[in-house]
Amino acid sequence: MIKTCLIVLVALGVVESCGNGNKQNSHPQTKNLDSSLVEANKMYVKRESDEIDQYVAHHGWKMNTTGTGLRYMITKKGTGTATAQPEQRVKVDYRISLLDGTLCYSSEKEGPKEFIVGKDNIESGLHEGIQYLHAGDEATFILPSHLAHGLLGDGNKIPAKASVIYEIKLISIQ
Note whether residue 107 is domain-resident: yes
pTM of the model: 0.79
Indicate the number of domains in the chain.
Answer: 1
Instruction: Give the H or E element holding residue 8.
Output: helix 2-20
Domain encompassing residue 148: 36-173
- Positions of E strands within 17-143: 64-65, 71-76, 89-98, 103-106, 113-116, 138-143
Give the model confidence (pLDDT) of 90-139 as tens digits: 999 999 999 999 999 999 999 999 999 999 999 999 999 999 999 999 99
Note whether residue 9 is domain-resident: no
Instruction: Give the H or E element holding residue 97.
Output: strand 89-98
Give the model confidence (pLDDT) of 136-163 as tens digits: 999 999 999 999 999 999 999 999 999 9
Type of residue found at 17 = S
Query: Where residue 81 sits, what CATH number does that domain have?
Result: 3.10.50.40
Give the model confidence (pLDDT) of 42-92 as tens digits: 898 999 999 999 999 999 999 999 999 999 999 999 999 999 999 999 999
Note whether residue 77 is domain-resident: yes
Contacts (Cβ under 8 Å, ≥6 apart) of 19: none
Note whether residue 6 is domain-resident: no
